[in-house]
């Protein structure tokens, strides 16, 4: 089980003896040279550079417009100013937008992973004839520029009465996200250990049982990574929700933020506060499921 | 798979098709054909949401359509216009800049950073520091595009923008300028932003993939006297090759159809200095109401993306087969 390496590594400094003392295992690799420290410093500097815009959002979200005009974007706020945030929260009915985004993104994430798994089972394990071309056809969903879909889907959903309905957006993104999922899972399942499947088929398992009792549990780490990706990607989508969710009550968080930008009443610090509120949900979601990402994206963990 | 196990493959497979190991499903004794049923839901949805609009769109490229009156057949007119349209060709050369910023730099840098985090920092300073740094690198990926654009927009803006203030603060007043409004700096600025956005994605995927690498392999190589760079090339890159393929292909597709940042930050300007095909198509669709011509640009873009993907997937399949036959 290679999947436990990171977890062990994460626990080691806590459980194990302090670094000064000789370690029981791989003592030679834990000795830190000057070069190691330099690499660590470089890695931290890169991290800081990447995080700068986030610090800027943070400090300007709690600044009053007067403070901002006087001291500019780089200083810390002189007092804790919450009006910008409160203002934005109430203006867009933020809890409602949060729920809309959460509902759409979670349903898409789960359904898209399910579709990806079914597709990849046939392509990776079943090795259906012409699978490279089928993967390619499915990847079309990823390749098409989204503008192409707007006119035709607008007419189609209007005809069946799903226009301005969240399910329209859900169906579209299940297809788009599962294209990536199918591609990734099919190549991962293509290297699925044959011995396990052979053993299961000797036990008389049929394909459906094998999918859920053998393939599903073993690929679970990859599937959860996909759930996280799909959730975040769908949450951040803009063009299609903007087009298909016209009524205020069905809008998502990014759409509601963007719609407010045209508003002349929005000052810089309210904009910053809206950016902070817009990124917090995905940030929290990411931090909660961070560990899942470390468990690996491949079924190779069984090797 | 070794040669021996290919030769041992069940007789059924050899009857079913020529190349035994390839035509056989991974479940012994079950014909690949019986797996088709698992593709039904996926392909049905795909047809409805993707294939039908695509065909509709291809039809529109042969018409003059303003969105109100029914489309009028004009034959190849749109395609002829496209071939001589300098804005269209500019948009494609900007796509190359996007590929550099979204594929080449993030993948190479991502490989080095992922190996560095996993291999050096993770092992010598503890996994906690490594996963904290990885989470930091990934931050821009979780930022909604719209929000990112708003924030970057006010960092780069000419009056009291954060970047110009920093430059003035360290005495480099001469460098301060209207980053997105100047045709010379607009495209490079967008490129830097895209590197910032993309970098976390390969790092997360590559670090997950690295867990598949057997640590004993590294130790053995280390004992043999291989240095870090040799180990990186011989072990790391070859083992996580499937992920490198996935990352390069998905990022190339994303780079070719990049839309959001252009739409929110520059609108393709100043002039056409940052225009990209997807944005050009959008502006023809919804601003000029030239739906037929917009469809033509979008279709041309789709064809380019499809060709790139085919080449990629064929190369990947070939490599996988070589691996299998080895």
DSSP A82-136: -HHHHHHHHHTTHHHHHHHHHHHHHHHHHHHHHHHHHHHIIIIIS--TTHHHHHH
- pLDDT value, residue B144: 84
Residue A21 in this model has a pLDDT that exceeds 60:
no
Domain match, B20 and B115 both: no
Domain ranges of chain A: 88-302
Tokens encoding B231: 């180990």
Is the omega angle on the peptide bond into residue B270 within 30 degrees of 0, that is, cis? yes
- pLDDT value, residue B49: 92
Domain match, B65 and B190 both: no
Query: Which residues 101-130 of B are in CB contact (within 8 Å) with A?
Result: 113, 116-117, 120-130
Domain match, B57 and B191 both: no
Question: What span, in angstroms and rounded, lies between the C-alpha atoms of A136 and B43?
Answer: 12
- pLDDT value, residue A303: 33
Domain match, B91 and B167 both: yes
Domain match, B223 and B307 both: yes
> CATH topology for A88-302?
MetI-like fold (1.10.3720)
Domain match, B163 and B57 both: no
Tell me the chain B residues in contact with residue A207 when contact means C-beta distances shorter than 8 Å.
27, 30, 34-35
Residue A299 in this model has a pLDDT that exceeds 80:
no
Domain match, B73 and B222 both: no
Residue B21 in this model has a pLDDT that exceeds 60:
no
Domain match, B157 and B281 both: yes
- pLDDT value, residue A265: 60
Cβ pair B136:A51 closer than 8 A: yes
Domain match, B92 and B235 both: yes
Segment A61-80, tens digit of pLDDT: 888 877 777 777 777 777 78
Which of B50, B79, B108 lies at the terminal end of a domain, its last residue?
A: B79
Cβ pair A275:B147 closer than 8 A: yes
Domain match, B162 and B199 both: yes
Between these two residues, A212 and A13, which has the higher pLDDT value? A212
End-to-end, the C-alpha distance of chain A in Å comes to: 7
Domain match, B143 and B39 both: no
Which of B21, B49, B79 lies at the terminal end of a domain, its last residue?
A: B79
Residue B293 in this model has a pLDDT that exceeds 70:
yes
Tell me the chain A residues in contact with residue B142 when contact means C-beta distances shorter than 8 Å.
232, 236, 279, 282-283, 285-286
Total number of domains in chain B: 2
What are the angstrom distances between the C-alpha of B225 and each of A36, A92, B98?
Answer: 18, 62, 40
End-to-end, the C-alpha distance of chain B in Å comes to: 7
Rg (C-alpha) for chain B, rounded Å, is 25
For an interface test with B, which of A126, A241, A283 has the most B Cβ atoms less than 10 Å from its Cβ?
A: A126
Cβ of B311 under 8 Å from any chain A Cβ? no
For an interface test with A, which of B43, B132, B212 has the most A Cβ atoms less than 10 Å from its Cβ?
A: B212
Q: For the purposes of burial, counting CB atoms within 10 Å of the CB of B233, is it exposed (0-12), middle (13-18) or buried (19 or more)?
A: exposed
- Give B44 to chain A, closest Cα distance, Å: 10
Choose among B118, B2, B25: nearest CA to A6: B118
Domain containing B299 equals: 85-325
Query: Which residues 48-87 of B are in CB contact (within 8 Å) with A?
Result: 48-54, 56-57, 60
Domain match, B187 and B286 both: yes
Tokens encoding B57: 């769109």
- Give A170 to chain B, closest Cα distance, Å: 11
- pLDDT value, residue B222: 80
Give the confidence band of B1 by pLDDT, cuts at 50, 70, 90: very low
Q: Are B309 and A135 in contact (CB under 8 A)?
A: no
Question: What span, in angstroms and rounded, lies between the C-alpha atoms of B167 and A34?
Answer: 32
Nearest to B32 among A72, A127, A194 (CB): A127
Between these two residues, B107 and A200, which has the higher pLDDT value? B107
Which of B22, B47, B79 lies at the terminal end of a domain, its last residue?
A: B79
Tell me the chain B residues in contact with residue A153 when contact means C-beta distances shorter than 8 Å.
49, 53
Q: For the purposes of burial, counting CB atoms within 10 Å of the CB of A294, is it exposed (0-12), middle (13-18) or buried (19 or more)?
A: buried
Say if the ipTM goes beyond 0.90.
no
């Amino acid at each position: 089980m290679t999947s436990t390496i990171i977890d062990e590594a994460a626990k080691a400094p806590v459980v194990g003896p302090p670094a000064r003392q000789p370690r029981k295992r791989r003592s030679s690799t834990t000795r830190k040279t000057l070069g190691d420290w330099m690499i660590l410093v470089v890695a931290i500097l890169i991290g800081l550079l990447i995080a700068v815009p986030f610090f800027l959002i943070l400090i300007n979200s709690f600044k009053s417009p007067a403070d901002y005009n006087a001291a500019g974007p780089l200083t810390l706020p002189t007092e804790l100013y919450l009006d910008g945030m409160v203002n934005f929260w109430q203006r867009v009915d933020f809890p409602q937008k949060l729920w809309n985004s959460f509902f759409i993104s979670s349903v898409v994430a789960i359904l898209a992973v399910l579709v990806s798994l079914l597709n990849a089972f046939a392509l990776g394990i079943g090795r259906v004839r012409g699978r490279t071309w089928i993967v390619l056809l499915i990847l079309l969903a990823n390749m098409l520029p989204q503008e192409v879909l707007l006119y035709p889907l607008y007419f189609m959903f209007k005809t069946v009465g799903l226009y301005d309905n969240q399910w329209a957006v859900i169906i579209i993104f299940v297809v788009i996200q599962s294209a990536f999922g199918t591609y990734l899972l099919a190549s991962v399942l293509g290297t699925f250990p044959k011995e396990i499947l052979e053993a299961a088929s000797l036990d008389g398992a049929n394909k459906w049982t094998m999918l859920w009792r053998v393939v599903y549990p073993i690929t679970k780490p990859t599937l959860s990574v996909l759930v996280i990706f799909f959730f975040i990607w769908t949450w951040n989508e803009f063009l299609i929700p903007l087009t298909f969710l016209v009524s205020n009550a069905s809008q998502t968080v990014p759409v509601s933020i963007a719609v407010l930008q045209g508003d002349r009443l929005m000052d810089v610090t309210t904009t910053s506060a809206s950016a902070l509120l817009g990124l917090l949900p995905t940030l929290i979601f990411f931090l909660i499921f961070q560990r899942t990402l470390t468990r690996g994206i491949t079924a190779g963990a069984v090797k | 798979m070794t040669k021996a196990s290919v030769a041992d493959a069940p007789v059924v497979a050899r009857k079913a098709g020529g190349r035994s190991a390839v035509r056989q499903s991974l479940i012994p004794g079950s014909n690949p054909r019986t797996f088709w049923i698992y593709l039904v839901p996926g392909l049905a949805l795909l047809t409805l949401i993707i294939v039908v609009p695509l065909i509709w769109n291809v039809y529109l490229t042969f018409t003059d359509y303003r969105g109100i009156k029914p489309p009028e057949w004009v034959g190849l007119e749109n395609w002829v216009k496209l071939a001589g349209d300098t804005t269209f060709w500019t948009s494609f050369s900007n796509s190359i800049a996007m590929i550099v910023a979204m594929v080449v730099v993030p993948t190479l840098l991502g490989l080095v950073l992922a190996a560095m985090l996993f291999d050096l920092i993770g092992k010598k300073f503890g996994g906690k520091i490594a996963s904290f740094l990885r989470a930091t690198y990934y931050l821009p990926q979780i930022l909604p595009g719209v929000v990112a654009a708003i924030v970057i927009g006010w960092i780069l803006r000419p009056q009291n923008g954060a970047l110009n203030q920093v430059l003035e603060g360290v005495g480099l007043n001469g460098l301060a300028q209207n980053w997105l409004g100047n045709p010379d700096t607009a495209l490079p600025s967008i490129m830097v932003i895209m590197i910032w956005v993309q970098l976390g994605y390969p790092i997360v995927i590559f670090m997950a993939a690295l867990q598949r690498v057997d640590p004993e392999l590294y130790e053995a190589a280390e004992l043999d006297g291989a240095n870090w760079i040799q180990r990186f090339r011989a072990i790391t890159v070859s083992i996580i090759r499937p992920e490198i393929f996935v990352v390069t292909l998905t990022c190339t597709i994303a780079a070719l159809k990049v839309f959001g940042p252009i739409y929110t930050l520059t609108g393709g300007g100043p002039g056409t200095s940052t225009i990209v095909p997807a944005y050009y198509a959008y502006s023809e669709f919804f601003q000029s109401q030239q739906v037929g011509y917009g469809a033509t640009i979008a279709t041309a873009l789709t064809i380019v993306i499809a060709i790139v993907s085919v080449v990629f997937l064929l190369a990947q399949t070939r490599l996988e087969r070589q691996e299998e036959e080895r």
